[in-house]
Structure 1
Amino acid sequence: MMSKNKLKVAPPSTETYIACPYDSAHRLLPTRLAWHLTRCARNHPGSKMVHCPFNNTHIYSVTDIQTHIGVCPNRAHLERYIHPDKLPPAEPRAMEFNIESTEDWDAEPPVESYNPQAYCESNFVIRNPQGAPPSARREFRERERRRFQEHSKF
């Protein structure tokens, strides 16, 4: 039995597509532009198109490139690099602030640190000696039996 709810997929928006500078009939996504330009440039060897020195995906005719270089949005990166004092930074600097506190995280805590060996010896924790010879393991198990019997009397 087929479901009556059919999903419809919206067609891609034509506003997100960019026209190729070599052939205006080519419409492509901005993420595919750089790849497409290398392929399309081979198909149009006689076109007199020039790449922008600030962004390789900006391609203009020889007559229009000078006006583009003056208004290219990627030019600001070069200007900021050449004259770092004259232009404002690309991102505003974070405000510096100090928080006064009486806590000292580097100081030792006022309590004793945890000793797992002492805890295991004073509570009902089953331990297994590792790396000891059989006679030492036998003695250890006997001591543990006595310890559990003494604690269970309370």
Structure 2
Amino acid sequence: MMIASDRQVTCVYNTAHQIYESRLQYHLVKCKKVHNDQKKAICSFDSTHHVPASDYLVHIQTCPNRRVLDEHAYHVDGERRSAEECWKEYVPVNLPPPQESWDTDGPGYTYNPDRVSREKPVIRVMTGGTKSERKAFRQRECRRLQNLNNGLPLNERQSA
């Protein structure tokens, strides 16, 4: 469906493609899949801006849709200020070094579901293994459940 004010634009992947502006996003998704050899970056401010990856940083600085973000981001205390003015006042915060390290600290308590289920009257299932291994596992499980139901102590259950 064409809108009266809808104008035609040229596809960035194939200049032979002329698309109505209202259909451009749909077309770019399809055309990008076909022309995946072209290295294009998608603008953060407008998803219909597919620019060469080498020109991406320049485009981000000069994108006409960046104005919306700038107006919102740099409206401080009721007055509008430029990004440069806001950055001049920025003071980096020196944070203290972290007190914990996930790399050096060993795990405190780890949950082992196999160990826990061995002590409870639940039916366990072996996944994988050969047919004979699964059969042996089922037989061991039957003995384990019988021992649990008979109330045998832990050391006798393990030897059975």
Normalization by structure 2: what TM-score?
0.43
Q: Which has the larger radius of gyration?
A: 1
Q: Quick check: which one's helix share is greater? A: 2
Normalization by structure 1: what TM-score?
0.45
